[in-house]
Every structure is written in structure tokens, then in C-alpha cells.
Amino acid sequence: MASFTDLVSGYHRFRDTDWVRERARWEKLVGGQSPRVMVIACSDSRVDPAQIFDTAAGEIFVVRNVANLVPPFELDGKRHGVSAALEFAVTQLEVEEIVVLGHGACGGVHASFTKEFKDTPPGEGGFIDHWVDLLDEARTRSIAEHGEGPAAIRALEMETVRVSIANLRTFPCIPEREAAGKLRIHGAYFAIHDGLLHIMDDSGEFAPA
């Protein structure tokens, strides 16, 4: 596993290779960014959207968090990192597409499914529990339909995408732009065990890309 020293060594390789090869791109990016796509993905170290989609710097605007979740639109005066990033991407960068990317073997989904951090204080698991409780209703549906085995966990991993897309549409700026044909929303699921990307159709079902 990489250490900070390894990261610095990687930086030197980047400066000697990709930076030189893509210098014109980087000089253009100094003036600002104009990605057409926003990707909302999990923080999991195995699921890097830039790697999965083979993109270069400046091509996608990425937000990563536990279980690739989008909270609903809330006016409670608290700080909302995902909401701020979403607002910036949609209203300032004016991205044309948003992709919510779920994945297999998701630790956040496991925490939701097992309730392992329930009743723990913040700093010991409480923040995680209060974040993944966004999936409580989806968890109940998955267990009701699939029991409490691997099939239910996989179903809940895919539910993270559906829940996040539903919450996206509680932000006023989203349905307005969808209705005007200025924004499209996509769901996707990356299976770590076989490297397959699945795309969600209009009915909410997933199939290999």
C-alpha cells in the first residue's frame, strides 16, 4: 500500500512524464475549468472515477463521499459539502450531465446494512451512522425483497444510486434544468470483482455497459 513517500515519488514521475506530455492541456486549464460532466462517487480507494472512465485532468468534476450519497435539499443553516459542490457544478460550471456511480463491496453500504455504528457517538462511528441512515428505507426494501444475504447487499449498493438521484431532484436547480433540456442524470454501478460497469436505464434497472 502506498505511503506519503510513495505519493511524492509518484508526483516526480508525473512531472517527468504526464506533465511534460500534457503541458498544453495544463496551460489551458490554468485559465479555468469547464467540465461537461459531474460524477458523484464513493470515497472508496478502489473506485477512482478518473481511472474507471479513463479521463484526463479537467474533464470531469468529481465529488466523493461515503457510499456516493447525495443528501436531500435542506435549509437548516448547517454546512453541506455535497450540496455546495452540487450547486457549484450545476449553477456555476453549468455541467450538462451528472453521473451517480455506485460500486460493489461498498463499506458504507455494509455499515448501513449491518447497523454496526448505531448508537455510537460522533468520532467513534456516529458520523458514519448518521450519514448512511439516508439508506434506511432502501435497506428495508432490500431486505424485504432479498432477505439478509449477499443479494440484499448488492441490491442496496444499487439502491444508493437510486436514492441519490431521487435526492438530486429535490434541489430546485436540478428539475428546472432537466425540464429545459440542459441537464441529464445517469446512474452507474461498478462491480469491483469483475471490473464491469453497469448503466441504469429509465426504469431504474442496471445492465452491463
pLDDT tens figures, 105-159: 999 999 999 999 999 999 999 999 999 999 999 999 999 999 999 999 999 999 9
Q: Which residue in the list 13, 23, 36, 46 is annotated as catalytic? A: 46
Largest Cα–Cα distance in the chain? 55
Q: Can you tell me the distance from the alpha carbon of 182 to that of 165, in angstroms, rounded to the nearest whole number? A: 16
| Known catalytic membership, residue 173 | no
Measured CA to CA in angstroms, residue 186 lies from 58, 97, 126, 128, 164 at distances of: 20, 7, 31, 26, 11
Say what percent of the chain tops pLDDT 70. Answer: 100
pLDDT for residue 1: 86
94, 192 in Cβ contact below 8 A?
A: no
Q: Which of 6-15, 17-26, 108-117, 172-181 has the lowest mean pLDDT?
A: 17-26
Q: Can you tell me the distance from the alpha carbon of 86 to that of 171, in angstroms, rounded to the nearest whole number? A: 9
pLDDT for residue 208: 96
Q: Which residue in the list 13, 15, 16, 106 is annotated as catalytic? A: 106
Task: Read off the pTM.
Answer: 0.95
| Known catalytic membership, residue 103 | yes
Taking 90 as the threshold, does the pLDDT of residue 83 lie above it?
yes
Q: Which residue in the list 12, 13, 44, 129 is annotated as catalytic? A: 44
Cell numbers of 152, please? 440484499
